[in-house]
Amino acid sequence: MLSRRILLFSLSVLTSILVTTACQTNSQTSDSSQSSQPGEKAPHEVVTSPNPDWVQFTPPIDCTLGEDCFTLLYVDRDPSDNAQDFACGRQTYDTHKGTDFAIPNEVAMNQGVAVIAAADGTVLRLRDGEPDRRLRTPEDIAAVEEQGRECGNGLVMDHGDGWETQYCHLKQNSIVVESGQQVAQGETLGLVGLSGKTTFPHVHITVRYQGEVIDPFVGVTDETGCNLERRPLWEDPIGYEPTGILSAGFAAEDLSLDRLWRGDFTDVNLSDDIPLIYFWVHGYGILEGDVEHFRLLDPEGTVITDYEQTADQSNLNWYNGVGKRNTNQRPILPGTWRGEYELRRDGEVIVSLEREIEVQAVR
């Protein structure tokens, strides 16, 4: 879904697109029946040590969370047809059984991001050879489901005492371990890919104990639902980041979600004869009522666009941008262009970034 608005001499591209295989556009953002009083911690913020007999895990990806990879989706803890993550947020979809650690785009994927063992264990079984492709239509998704290849390239590890992990969506022909092999925590298993039932490059990890799915942000419990006291399985704490920016930059062509996931605008070179210039952001976890504020400044410091938009719905994944057309009356100037972006929630800035690009003179 793409809408365009002409703002005087600038062009703003405004988009809100959900990208999950379940195509969920609405889910709850809080559980009012379990809300805490002002100044008190919500139940999910109360974290205690895990049982010493439980296996503890590290993230299954070799990257720096919040910088070059992101915790994009969490386990669905709602037993109904709705979907909620452990914090009563909406970064999940119905029946999602794992945690998705995403990378910004296919450029990063092709450079190679290692999937690593979350704990010591033995490889039980694996599959490789499935193609990497971003699913775009319900027909694409149905075809993968009919084949029973939702996990794509992946493997299952046994960690003893009833604990297992499953890793999905690895890159085609990247798995470097074999069935029966003993693997140490942190050892490379393969590479992040786009195989199976997926719409973005990531590794999905499912933790199971005695055959039951366990949310690693919560620990072993018979309780369902969200906003409960937690005993996480992570060796080192992983913060809850329900909203963030995957990538941001500039472009001289029309934007699309497909092109952003491909990484088409990762390293662009612009000149002053381009037809237009966009400043864009690609993010996750925007909520209805969030306010996006864009500013685009030319090399003389003139504010070309100063634009705010209030999100009219929540989306797991979205992109947005502002820009300017190149005209004889108001040309795109050579020099350093700057884009500024803020995302506000309930009056508080939760995301703030700047990007610059040098536009070369050719005229």
Domain-wise residue ranges, the chain? 2-19+243-360, 34-214
At 11 the pLDDT is 32
pLDDT over 70 for what percent of the chain? 88
Give me the residues paired with residue 105 across strands: none
At 43 the pLDDT is 72
φ and ψ of 146, to 5 deg: -65, -30
Is 357 or 18 the better-scoring residue by pLDDT? 357
Residue-averaged pLDDT of the chain: 89
**Secondary structure of 51-109 as H, E, C letters:** CCCCCCECCCECCCECCCEEEEECCCCCCCCCCCCCCCCCCCCCCCCCEEEECCCHHHH
pTM of the model: 0.88
Per-residue pLDDT tens digits for 82-133: 999 999 999 999 999 999 999 999 999 999 999 999 999 999 999 999 999 9
Distance CA(143)–CA(150), nearest Å, equals 10
pLDDT of 359 above 60: yes
At 220 the pLDDT is 96
Domain 34-214 of CATH type 2.102.10.10: no
At 89 the pLDDT is 93
At 345 the pLDDT is 97
Four-way CATH pick for 2-19+243-360: 3.30.930.10, 3.30.1180.20, 3.30.70.100, 2.60.40.10: 2.60.40.10
Q: Which helix (H) or strand (E) is 139 found in, with range?
A: helix 138-147
Contact 169, 199 (CB under 8 A): no
Contact 130, 172 (CB under 8 A): yes
Lowest mean pLDDT among 23-37, 227-241, 291-305, 322-336: 23-37
Per-residue pLDDT tens digits for 52-92: 999 999 999 999 999 999 999 999 999 999 999 999 999 99
In the Cβ-directed half-sphere of 229, how many Cα atoms lie within 13 Å? 5
